[in-house]
Each structure stands twice: as C-alpha cells, then as structure tokens.
Amino acid sequence: MTTANQSLKPITTKINENGHLEIGGCDVVSLAEKYGTPLYVFDEETIRTIACQYKKAFNNYPKVSMLYASKAFMTKAIVRILDEEGFGFDMVSGGEIYTAYKAGGNMKKSLFNGNNKSYDELQMAVEFGVGLVSVDNFLELALLNDVAKSNNKVVDILLRVTPGIECHTHEYIQTGHLDSKFGFDLTQVDEAVELIIDEYKNLNLIGLHAHIGSQIFETSIYYDEVNVLLKEMGRLKEKYGLNLTHINLGGGLGIKYTDKDCPPSIDEIAEKIISSIKENAPKYNVESPEIHIEPGRSIIGTSGVTLYTVGSSKQVPKGKKYVAVDGGMADNPRPSLYQAVYTAEVANRPEDEKTETVTIAGRFCESGDILIKDVKMPVLEEGDILCFYDTGAYGYSMSSNYNRVLKPAAVLVNNSQSDIIIDREDYEHLVSLDRIPARLEK
C-alpha cells in the first residue's frame, strides 16, 4: 500500500477549471494574488492523512507513541493539528517547547532532544511538564539532575546513543554513525548509567534513543537499529538489573522530491520495526518496549509547497538560460546547503508544453543561490507563478533575513478555505530588534 510520503504533490493537488493548479480546494494563482509571493502553502488534508497513516501502520503493535519532529516546521497551527491527531512533539530548543506549550500541545507526551541544551531550556522543559528528556552527554546529565532537584522532581529520561549504523544519505544529515556530534557512544553508556544509579537521584532512566539519519530510503536499517537498542537493553538488564521499557527510534523516512525518488512507504518501515522487536526482544531477554517514532519531513514535507513569481531572465551566450524568482536561498537554503533537488510547475499554466531548459535562480546576492538547475519548463514569462513541491520541511524553519529580505507568509488550505498561519514580515518588524547606541544618535 502506498502512503502519502511517496507522492510528489499534496494529495489534493489538481488542475481546476481555470487551468490553474489547485491545492486544498484553493486556486494557487489566487493564493499568490491574495497573499503575495514568496508564499508557503500547507495542505491540511495531506498533513492529517499522513499522520493517520503513521498511526494505522503501527496498529498491530500496542505500545507506540508518535512524536512530530518539530524542527521540520513548527507553528502554533501545526501543533494544534498534530495534537488533534494524537501526536506528541520531539522538540530541540526552548523556542519549540514554548511554541508547543502556547499552542496547547500535549507536553506530557512530548520529548526534549538536542546535543547542547542550556540550563534555562532544561528548566523550561521541567517547568512546562515535558514528559521525557533525551539526554545527549555527560554535562547534560549533571545539569538536568540539578534542575530536577531544584524543582523537587524526578525526571524521566532516555539516553541518546550512536548505534553505529550509517545510512546512505547526505553526509550532513547522517546522525547514527559512530563519528557524530550526537549522543553517547555505546562504550560510554556504562559510565552514564553508573552516574544515574549512584549520583543522579533525580533522573529516572526508562529507555534508549537513537536516530539514524534523514531522507532515508532503506528499510533494513530500521530493523538493525531496533536490534542494536534491544541488545543494549538486554546487556544493561544483565549487568545492572535495569528493566528499560522504552526505545525511541527517531524518524528520517524519506519523501519524493522528484519522479526519480522511490521512498519506502510508512507500512514498510513499520513492518521492519515490529518484526525486529518480535524476533529480537526474546533473544536478549527483554520485554517488548514502548516505541517512539519521530516523523517530521515525511509528514510536513509533501504537505507544503512554495509559490514564487518569475522576474528577470538572462541568456548566457552559448550557455545557460537563467530565470530569476522573487525568493531563493533565504526561504529555502536546502539546494545550496544539501544540493537538494526539487520539482516545480507553472501554476498559472501547468499544462503548457515544456519546451526549454532553464536554471531557476534566486534573488539573493550569492552565485550559489540556485533553486533548480537545468530543468525543462514552458517558456517562462515575467509574472508567471512557479509552484515548488515538497518544500514543507526545512524551508521556513531554516529561513533567514539574508540581504535583509523579509520572510514570507505561510497559509494553511483546506476545503477551499485559506488561512494565514504565519504573517509576512514587514520592514518595521525587520528593524524592531535593532538598537542604535546613544553616542550614535543624531
């Protein structure tokens, strides 16, 4: 069975009677006219469908918690939707904790993750009732124990470990191999456990956490990840008498950015995870654990698109033709950062024949500000609206004000209705945190 992460477009995408792209019942060209461009557009039906597909895929396993990986894209509206779908939140900063809390997300079902949490962020997590903290290093063990003790609480924790599994993804988004900034090496686990048992009385270790990477197309590594964690649980049980009850497997399932991409379905990775538990838990003499899954990109990536307006163009003599749009690397840094490849269509005339090869360039003052290289498109004209698919993850969340350009707005579409979920910045907002020292005042 296919799942929506295997779709190139939001599931509501179609061409309407005006000959325009339509998403969520909303004419994409009309959205551009109403809200301006660049514009992030998120399809609520796709978000909810993928969330339901995750829950359904694990229906046959009784102990599962779904945690949305907030770093992919987080706003109060997205928190509200996924909270309604029964998700908790995997959060990696005070800002993400605060957003989930202000939106009414279920904090008890949520997890605070990250490799360099501050004392103040740990204090916020404890104060706001975050249910679990994934501890990444020895300093954090000490800090969190101090925070918990000062609040007269015992905090449930996971130890994040590097399982030594290397997936075939981009070097910058591999997190499970041994040479990684994240987590305890397996050779360091005993020292951490002994500190918890002997000194850190305000920490309650309930399980292990690992994350093997992002944009993963392999399924067998999920089986292997479970096996490594269960084996470690069995070893800790035998050596220390610890009966750990939870494993957090991270997320990382890939999505379809181009027609060449063939990510596995949610059902395929669920089958690997569940079969590994059934086969390996008895082998290591441990109970079948509660599992945490942290989907981010695979929920929000396919659900979001970005709209741009075509501006100038340049034909290099005997070279490329460049077509510039009104956004670029500040609203989507992934092509520059990861060499990510996207698919785009002309929203106002998607059925026109693709007759020329162009390179879509951004508006920012960097030669590397290229969104798509050498792509077949209809002859593009000033004012055309381009729709870039699968930009829901890591577009806005990694965006910047480079060149002092304003960050775009974001809208949520559903049942022919569109609603702003992030306001477009204005110039007053842009300078609102600037300060001029008194000695420089005129």
Measure the CA–CA gap between 236 and 412, rounded to whole angstroms. 47
Measure the CA–CA gap between 422 and 331, rounded to whole angstroms. 13
Q: Label the pairing between strands 184-185 and 21-23.
A: unpaired
Asked if the peptide bond before residue 38 counts as cis, ω within 30 degrees of 0, the response is: yes
- CB-CB neighbours of 368 under 10 Å: 12
Among candidate residues 26, 167, 365, 387, the one labeled active-site is 365
Conformational region of residue 392, where left means phi above 0, alpha means psi within -120 to 50, and beta covers everything else: alpha
Measure the CA–CA gap between 128 and 117, rounded to whole angstroms. 15
Conformational region of residue 436, where left means phi above 0, alpha means psi within -120 to 50, and beta covers everything else: beta
Residue 315 DSSP SS3: strand
Measure the CA–CA gap between 66 and 88, rounded to whole angstroms. 6
**C-alpha Rg value of the chain to the nearest Å:** 23
DSSP letters spanning 164-229: ----SS-GGG--SSSS-SSSEEGGGHHHHHHHHHHT-TTEEEEEEE----SSB--SHHHHHHHHHH
Q: Label the pairing between strands 344-346 and 26-27.
A: unpaired
Structure tokens at 339: 């060499």
Told to judge if 387 belongs to the known catalytic residues of this protein, a careful annotator would answer no
CA-CA-CA-CA torsion sign (214, 215, 218, 223): positive
- Residues 70 and 92: beta-carbon distance below 8 Å: yes
* Residues labelled catalytic: 365
